Structure formats: structure tokens, C-alpha cells
Chain A
């Protein structure tokens, strides 16, 4: 009830009815919309982008009067059509992606309805939330800049809608907004640091329907070679100590131990996916000499990549019994985790129980007869598995096997044709073939998939591992030694292991041959490399320190401050910051107001005159005109009659005169003189007036 009263009585402007929003404001909103769509470009269907462009363009043309906005029926028609197309494309999949595109669709449709200021605000709110949604998908610094710039455009639009015909709106608007941001930046930073990073209030998996570039949990020959055409980042690593040599950078991801036809798979069923999200940060603090920090790009998988003989330090990864590392939940955003190298491997072959080992001897019932025979032959010729492996590696090294990104098609008995006929293949081919032969020879073996290598980022601060570093190799089990890494690629193309893919396929010229936009493709352009690495460095620090500033990092940072600051204290601090900011704003307002008052010199003079009158026994009455007051003063102090009248006339002239008559500095000086004289006159003739 009281609220209604307030809105009634305080809002006498409620009579402002539907008024068409100004075109100048609208163009800012459209510009903001376009900017905010850019980060969505790779996840929005093309028809949606096109329709949004058409709808926004339509709205704009309607503003300038060239076309008319559709009527209600047509609007409903357009809406139905677009929603139908949407439903047809989505096909019942509900992911954050489809939700985001529905959101964009809603914005697009809203354009046709935006007529009044109220619609304008609705659109503004939706677009601000669109910026928020964008942050879910892209956190790199350039996307962040685009997002915030989009929001800034919206805020400019808001200024224009509130003052449509303001002179010099654009420049002043930007200046005003910039000043606001600069002034409030300290508060924002403090809030960002101290706002308690609570754990999620409820579980919200960020399920994305988008197929991410990255290794998958099955391996068919050819898979990794398509990955080799991508220069997208897989993860970045900072080492506390020195970098391991290139040839030792084997990042183990997952193990494929079941061969099914041509395809290698994980033997166990897919792990149960718990709903919810994984901690995205792996703590702060200096890295120990054996420690390394991995900042993984989102994979939508639970795999963490780690060097062999590592141990988890941060608590967002855990170790499996295959010495792999897993997150509890899929990595739907960048995740940082911290690992430590264990110099002395724990007791060898601890996990080598016979029943477990049987799994690593599994082969399909049929197929690849020559490779089977070859394996059995090798087993017969050598009595220990090490010798079999050596024999195989020697064969790869000495015979004319080629490492190529353009392997021939080997549809039937692929392993046979690779080993004995074509002899051209990629790491996945060789790893699969070698595992097959070893198993045929009775040696437990498995395919390991992950990355190998990684190139240094700017200033050698960290390693960048890209998708084209994806690799597959073999682990064989030797009694007494446990699992030992064996890499057939190292035998066939040692430069792949020593220097990377670029060198390995340099002759072939197939490095990133389809990815013409990637800076990595143009390795010989030093400037381009440098710029790309610098950008990556900025982004790396952005991701580590800003994007990844979450629960554990915050707690670690707080633990370095004096006084045990926990969640509760952070809450108090946040409240304190907000309170202090508001108080400060109030104080600034008060101070500015005082300054404003002092900027009314005439007003101050008038006040002084009032005080003079008061002393002279002529208290000022409310609403009295200066002339009336002067008249009464003249009656009380006849000596001051002339000056008082003149003073009153000047006041009137100042306040009610024409523009041309006011604003002279001389006027002020004259009034000051008059007041001084009047003061003397009023003081002096107090005797004379009592006489008279």
C-alpha cells in the first residue's frame, strides 16, 4: 500500500505515455547488440545470426522511416517461423548452447517490438545479461574487452535515451562513462578481491553441445591426424623448476586398452559423471622446484593431463589406479591444477596383478592375420619382452616407415597394410599397430593418448601445448619394471619427439595446411610469432590471476594477509567496502554541494544582506521581495535607504533581468561595494535614527 502511495505520489511523471524511443539511442543499442554477438559467432547457427541482423536492420530502417514496423499479426508470424526453425535445429537437445541461442533469438525478436522507452530498457536488460552469458563461454582478455565494450555502448545508449537532444552527446557521454568507471575502479577491484567466492548455490552443469577440438576417448587411425591440423591451445604449463627436455614432455591423458575392430577404446565403461562443476583453480603461491601448474582449456571431459610420475598437489584432481588424473566433473571452463613430479617412482609394478594384466592382452577375434603371426613369431624368437620391443623398434627405425599427415586409406586389415605394405602412417597408426603386435606376442600393452611436446610461450615463462601436439604412444608391461613407455614414433620420426610436428612434416609441407589463419602456421614470420606469443602471455596471466581467481586462490591470498580471514570475514569486509563506498560518495556529494554554494556569489551577498537586515532589527520575512525588504530597512535605517534600494534593484536585475543584463563581474563588485557602504550606514546612523 505504501509502495503504491510512493509510486503515485512521488511519480507525478507517470503520465508520460508511450513515446517513441529516439533513433540515436537505438543505434547505440544495435551497435552494442552486434558487439555482444561477436563472441557467440562460433556457437550460433548461421540462420540465427542472419535473422538477428535482418531484424535489427529492419528496426533501424523503421526508425528512419524507410519501412514500417510489422503489425501484430506479422510479428506473431515472424516469431512463429523463427521459433519453428529454432525447434527444428535444436531437435530436443537442451544444452547451455541451445539456451544461449534461444536467448539471442529472443533479443532478435524483441527488436521488432521496441517502440517505447520501456521496451528500450527491457532490451537493455536482456543485452546486459547476454554479456553475462558470453562470459560463460569465452574468458580470454580480448573477448572480455569486447564484452565490456558492448556493455559500454549500451550505457551510452541509455544516456542518449535519457537526454535525446543533448549537444555533443557522444563525446561527453563517453567521457562521463569513462570518469565513472575510473572513479569506481578501486571499489570494483577491492570487491573483486574480497568478495567471498562461495561454492555454487546449486548445481549447474555447463553442458555444451559444441564438439570441442581435442582428443577423444576413442582412437581410430586418422583421428589424431585431423587434430594435428588444429593449432588451438590445449593447455599451458608453468614449471617451478626447469623445463623438462622436449623429448620427455609426454603428457598422459587417457589409456585405451580395448581394441574393437579398428577402434581403440577405454576398457572400462565411461566414468559416471557427477552433476556440478569442478573447482577451477589450483591455488596460488610459489611453485616448488618439482611442481608445475597446468591451465587446461575447457575440454568437456574429466581428463587432466600430466607428465609421467606425477602427484596431484591441488585438490581438484585425483589420481586413478592407472596413474592418470581425473577431475570429478567435466572441465567445462578453464581449469588450473597443480602437480608435482615424483623423482623416485613408487615401488615398481605395484599395480601389476595378473587378473588386471589380462585386460591388456585383449585382441579382436579376427583380423590382421599377418600382424598376429608376426607377434607370435617375435614371441618365439625372444624370451624376454624387452627384446621383443627392441626388435620392433629396430624394425621401425631401419625399414622405410614414414611419418606422414597424409596416410593412404587402409580400409581392410589396417594394421597389416600399415606394417607390411604401405608403411606410411601417423602416430596413432603406429601406436595401435605396435600395441597389437605386442599383445599378439603375449606382452601386456596399451595405447596412451595425450600430448607430446609443447612450445615455450613469451619469455620462456611457460609452455604452450597445442592440439597439434596430440600424440599416441604405447606402454608395455615388463615384469619387475611395470609399465614402460615405448614410442614407435620416436623410432620412425625422431624429429617429432625432439622438435615437434612442424619439423617432422617439414618436407611434406602438411603442417597446419588447412588452418591458414593460425599464426603458428607462419613460423618463419618472427613478428607474427612474437605478437601471437605476447597476446598469449597476456591471456595466460589474465586467466591465471583474474579468470582463475576463485575459492582456493582467494583463500590462499587471504591466508597471506595478517589475521585469519575466512569466508565470514570476507563477507564483513565486502559489506564494509560497499558501506565505505556509499559513505564516500555521500561525502563527495556534500563537499561538491558546498563548493556549488560558494559558486553562487550573488546568493552569498544576498545572505549577508539578510543578516545585516536582521541585525538592523528588520528580520526577513518569508517570500518578501528585495524591494519590500529594502523599503522596510529604509524605514528602520533611513541613512541606508539609498544603498538598500539600489542593492535591491541590483538583486532584481540579477535574478529577473534579461540575459544581456546579467552576468557581469562589475555587477558583483558593485553589489559588494553597496553592501559595505550599507553596513557602515546601518551601523553609524543607529544613533542618528534614534535621535530622529
Chain B
């Protein structure tokens, strides 16, 4: 029953707060409840009232009413503190799995100060952010990532307990954009060529449905095993069949180089290699099934490769697609074997 209630609640919230990178918090989307301290304080007021009644003490009545009014005013203040705040996800960052991914958020409160705003997303939090009236306040929420892929925080909780901590008002930003989480780089075991026979390989390849074979002239550094000796015997040309990113080639990083290894592990190896190459500033290309990145150098290139590794085989969380309420990407039948979003099903 609890679970049903919970999912109904989530559906309701998701319906109420559709995904958007920008949100102005208003009545529809702000929730407010007393905190533990607020509940205790209300109890204290009750005790004070009983004290006043029993001792027929008007001043205790007065103090009780005064504090009671302050509680109501505080509720109002807490709500107001959040109301009208505009929060925009201006940049979803990237990083390696296991690291925290920075999400840049911009808060604007047009009319009044929004004080002591806290952002929470799963285990990460950003506390006591002050947004002065009419000014922009940029902040970075570091969201931990656990696996490669798109990191689309389900909900970023925006909360405030100001001024007295007796009430908490909160809402959520459900961003559309997602951060990119690169595979965790893993040093690959020394790759010696698994290719013993070109024919065999080409056969294997074609069954894979990959026909990005390239035949190029031999150049220095190519292993002699990879020369098409048969062709050489026929034509006298020393050519090399360059299956994309054929392993062993110093310029190509190949997904297929790691036979018998799981996909995630391969991507981890590749990420490591990309990092290595980038560090050495050497030229490399990346060959993934269905995607080839031509050899190049530089940080931008490395990022591009890492990104390709990150999202390999995953579908981008559909931007603003009218997702059925409360359904998660994996429930819709995502191809990804594991959800790309951390904090599954948590509010």
C-alpha cells in the first residue's frame, strides 16, 4: 500500500511539475510542511497555553498568542522566500563515472531576497544560498555519478527553512538537460593483437554487419602481421585492411579490440586509452560500432571521444517528450540495460 501511495504521490508530483530546465516557483509547485522543530514548537505552544489557563496568567496567554502568530507569519515567510524564485539549469556538466558532475544553476528572485535556499539532489547538497532581490546568483550543484551515460537528475529539490526553521517549503526542478558521464577509465591489459588471420577477422566483422573496412597503404608502424600478404603476392602492393580503429594501430582505438570483454569494460578501457592519448597529445581516432571519430588531437577531440563513449548504446533521455507520468526511462523500454539516471525512484 505504501508503495502504491508513494508512486501515486510521485506521479502526482511529476504531473504537477513537468520537466523543464527553468522554473518559476509559485503556488502550484511549492509544498510546505512544518519541520520536526515546528511540530515540537506547536506542542510547546500548547503546553504554554495550558500553563496560562491553569495559572490564569494573561501574560502567558499573550506570549502564546504572540508566538503563535509568529509561527503563522513564519510559515508565510518561508513560503514567500521560495515563491517567485526562478531557477534555471544553465549548464549540465560532464565528468567520469564516480566523480561528481557539476550542474550550473542560476537563480533569480525578482522582487524580494530569497535567503538560505538549499538545493538537494540525492546525496549532494548545496546549502544556504542567498539570492538577493533582482540579482542573479549562479551556483554549482555537484551531483555524484555512478555509471556512464546521461545523468539526468530526476528531481533537484529546492528547499528553504528560513527564517526560523519551523517550516520547510520546497519544490523541485526537474531538468530536461542531462549531464554526460564518461566511462570510468580502466587501464586495459596489454593488448597484443588478437588478430591472427585477416580473413577470419573480416569474416567476423561482416557478421557483425560492420563494413567500414578501409584499405590503405602500409605505413610505418603497422604490424607486419596485418599486411595483406595475399594481396601483396597478387598485386605487389603492400596494403593494410584497416578495420575501423583496428587494434594494434597506434592511431585507432577500437571497440572491437577487446574480445570477450563486456561492453562497459571495453568502454572503460577505451576511456583510459583516450585519456592516455590525450595526455601524450598523440593523434588518435575512435572506432565504435556505428560511430567513427576520425583521428585528431586536442582536448576538444578527447572530449568528443569521451562523450561518444559515454553515450554509446544509450538513448538520450527524450527532451520534453511527454513521458507518461512517473515512468522512468527504463520503464518505457530503454535500450540501456541499466538506468542512466542515478537515484532511481527517489524523491
A125–B116 Cα distance when bound, in Å, is 22
A517-574 at interface with B (beta carbon < 8 Å): 546-551
B1-51 at interface with A (beta carbon < 8 Å): 2, 5-6, 9, 18-22, 24, 26-27, 31, 33, 37, 40-41, 44, 47-48, 50-51
Q: How far is the CB of B184 from chain A (nearest CB, A)?
A: 24
Instruction: Judge whether A148 and B66 touch: CB under 8 Å.
Output: yes
Query: Interface-forming stretch among A64-72, A154-162, A423-431, A478-486?
Result: A154-162
Q: A181-B70, A188-B66, A546-B58 are in contact. Are A162 and B163 (CB under 8 A)?
A: yes
Q: Which residues from A are CB-within-8-Å of B60?
A: 132, 135-136
Query: Interface-forming stretch among B79-87, B198-206, B214-222?
Result: B79-87
Point out the residue from B20, B31, B62 that lies within 8 Å of A192, measured CB to CB: B62
Q: How far is the CB of B201 from chain A (nearest CB, A)?
A: 43
Query: Interface-forming stretch among B185-193, B257-265, B284-292, B317-325?
Result: B317-325
Q: Which residues from A are CB-within-8-Å of B346?
A: 12
Instruction: Judge whether B63 and A147 touch: CB under 8 Å.
Output: yes
A273 interface residue per 8 A CB criterion: no
Point out the residue from B56, B61, B62, B164 that lies within 8 Å of A200, measured CB to CB: B56
A656–B335 Cα distance when bound, in Å, is 32
B73-103 at interface with A (beta carbon < 8 Å): 73-77, 79-80, 83-84, 86, 88, 90-91
B118 interface residue per 8 A CB criterion: yes
- Using CB atoms, name the residue of chain B closest to A550: B56
Point out the residue from B65, B106, B128, B319 that lies within 8 Å of A188, measured CB to CB: B65
A599 interface residue per 8 A CB criterion: yes
- Total CB contacts across the A-B interface at under 8 A: 228
Instruction: Judge whether B164 and A158 touch: CB under 8 Å.
Output: yes
Instruction: Judge whether B118 and A128 touch: CB under 8 Å.
Output: no
Instruction: Judge whether A197 and B41 touch: CB under 8 Å.
Output: no
A240–B62 Cα distance when bound, in Å, is 29
A241-288 at interface with B (beta carbon < 8 Å): 277, 279-280
Q: A125-B44, A166-B116 are in contact. Are A158 and B165 (CB under 8 A)?
A: yes
B196 interface residue per 8 A CB criterion: no
A9 interface residue per 8 A CB criterion: yes
B110 interface residue per 8 A CB criterion: yes
A104 interface residue per 8 A CB criterion: no
Query: Interface-forming stretch among B154-162, B230-238, B294-302, B307-315?
Result: B154-162
Q: Which residues from B are CB-within-8-Å of A183?
A: 73
A600 interface residue per 8 A CB criterion: yes
- Using CB atoms, name the residue of chain B closest to A621: B320
Specify the main secondary structure of chain A where it touches its partner. helix
Instruction: Judge whether A129 and B83 touch: CB under 8 Å.
Output: no
B57 interface residue per 8 A CB criterion: yes
A6–B170 Cα distance when bound, in Å, is 14
Q: How far is the CB of A4 from chain B (nearest CB, A)?
A: 9
Point out the residue from B40, B53, B59, B165 that lies within 8 Å of A161, measured CB to CB: B165
Specify the main secondary structure of chain B where it touches its partner. mixed
Q: Interface 1/0s, chain B 154-180, versus A by CB < 8 A? A: 000101011111000010000010000
Query: Interface-forming stretch among A586-594, A641-649, A677-685?
Result: A586-594
- With a 10 A CB-CB cut-off, give which of A117, A144, A622, A662 has the most chain B CB atoms: A622
A138-186 at interface with B (beta carbon < 8 Å): 139, 144, 147-148, 151, 155, 158-159, 161-167, 173, 176-177, 180-181, 183-185
- Using CB atoms, name the residue of chain B closest to A596: B84
Q: Which residues from A are CB-within-8-Å of B321?
A: 622-623
- Using CB atoms, name the residue of chain B closest to A197: B56
Instruction: Judge whether A136 and B55 touch: CB under 8 Å.
Output: yes
- With a 10 A CB-CB cut-off, give which of B76, B79, B83 has the most chain A CB atoms: B76
Instruction: Judge whether A155 and B84 touch: CB under 8 Å.
Output: no
A15 interface residue per 8 A CB criterion: yes
Instruction: Judge whether A655 and B53 touch: CB under 8 Å.
Output: no
Instruction: Judge whether B165 and A15 touch: CB under 8 Å.
Output: no
Instruction: Judge whether B83 and A546 touch: CB under 8 Å.
Output: no
Instruction: Judge whether B2 and A5 touch: CB under 8 Å.
Output: yes
Instruction: Judge whether B120 and A13 touch: CB under 8 Å.
Output: yes
Instruction: Judge whether B159 and A15 touch: CB under 8 Å.
Output: no
Q: How far is the CB of B63 from chain A (nearest CB, A)?
A: 6
A551–B47 Cα distance when bound, in Å, is 20
A446–B18 Cα distance when bound, in Å, is 90
Query: Interface-forming stretch among A26-34, A201-209, A214-222, A375-383?
Result: A201-209
A185–B57 Cα distance when bound, in Å, is 19
- Using CB atoms, name the residue of chain A closest to B35: A11
Point out the residue from A151, A163, A663 that lies within 8 Å of B115, measured CB to CB: A163
- With a 10 A CB-CB cut-off, give which of B2, B33, B61 has the most chain A CB atoms: B61
Point out the residue from B50, B69, B76, B347 that lies within 8 Å of A589, measured CB to CB: B76
A16–B76 Cα distance when bound, in Å, is 24
A508 interface residue per 8 A CB criterion: no
Q: Which residues from B are CB-within-8-Å of A163?
A: 115-116, 128, 130, 162-163
A603 interface residue per 8 A CB criterion: yes
B54 interface residue per 8 A CB criterion: yes
B223 interface residue per 8 A CB criterion: no
Instruction: Judge whether A165 and B44 touch: CB under 8 Å.
Output: no
Instruction: Judge whether A195 and B157 touch: CB under 8 Å.
Output: no
Instruction: Judge whether A589 and B79 touch: CB under 8 Å.
Output: yes
A80 interface residue per 8 A CB criterion: no
Point out the residue from A9, A121, A548 that lies within 8 Å of B9, measured CB to CB: A9
Q: Interface 1/0s, chain B 108-131, versus A by CB < 8 A? A: 001100011010101101011010
A511–B75 Cα distance when bound, in Å, is 57
Number of A interface residues in the complex (CB < 8 A): 87
B136 interface residue per 8 A CB criterion: yes
Q: Which residues from B are CB-within-8-Å of A131?
A: 63
Q: How far is the CB of A127 from chain B (nearest CB, A)?
A: 11
Instruction: Judge whether B72 and A596 touch: CB under 8 Å.
Output: no
Q: How far is the CB of B142 from chain A (nearest CB, A)?
A: 15
A206–B55 Cα distance when bound, in Å, is 8
A588-637 at interface with B (beta carbon < 8 Å): 588-590, 592-593, 595-597, 599-600, 603, 621-624
Q: A135-B63, A589-B27, A600-B24 are in contact. Are A128 and B44 (CB under 8 A)?
A: yes
A681–B80 Cα distance when bound, in Å, is 41
Q: A195-B61, A593-B27 are in contact. Are A162 and B161 (CB under 8 A)?
A: yes
Point out the residue from B57, B66, B67, B347 that lies within 8 Å of A136, measured CB to CB: B57
Q: How far is the CB of A118 from chain B (nearest CB, A)?
A: 8
Instruction: Judge whether A599 and B116 touch: CB under 8 Å.
Output: no
A592–B26 Cα distance when bound, in Å, is 10
A198–B52 Cα distance when bound, in Å, is 10
A333 interface residue per 8 A CB criterion: yes
Q: How far is the CB of B198 from chain A (nearest CB, A)?
A: 47
Instruction: Judge whether A139 and B128 touch: CB under 8 Å.
Output: no
A2 interface residue per 8 A CB criterion: yes
Q: How far is the CB of B68 from chain A (nearest CB, A)?
A: 8
A363 interface residue per 8 A CB criterion: no
A1 interface residue per 8 A CB criterion: yes
Instruction: Judge whether A201 and B50 touch: CB under 8 Å.
Output: yes
Q: Which residues from A are CB-within-8-Å of B70?
A: 155, 177, 180-181, 184
Q: Which residues from B are CB-within-8-Å of A121?
A: 37, 40, 165
Instruction: Judge whether B110 and A550 touch: CB under 8 Å.
Output: no
Q: Which residues from B are CB-within-8-Å of A588?
A: 76
A211 interface residue per 8 A CB criterion: no
Q: A158-B164, A192-B65, A588-B76 are in contact. Are A201 and B48 (CB under 8 A)?
A: no
Q: Which residues from A are CB-within-8-Å of B76?
A: 585, 588-589
Sample of 18 more A-B contacts, CB < 8 Å, known A10-B31, A184-B70, A599-B110 = A6-B33, A12-B120, A121-B37, A128-B44, A132-B51, A135-B59, A139-B58, A159-B163, A162-B162, A184-B73, A187-B69, A192-B61, A197-B56, A198-B53, A551-B56, A581-B69, A588-B76, A624-B320
22 chain-A/chain-B pairs, Cβ below 8 angstroms: A5-B2, A9-B347, A121-B40, A121-B165, A132-B60, A135-B60, A136-B55, A136-B57, A162-B116, A180-B77, A188-B62, A188-B65, A188-B69, A197-B56, A200-B55, A204-B55, A585-B72, A589-B27, A599-B110, A623-B320, A656-B106, A662-B136
Q: What 9 pairs across the A-B complex have the smallest Cβ distances?
A: A623-B320, A596-B84, A184-B69, A163-B116, A622-B320, A180-B73, A599-B110, A135-B59, A623-B176
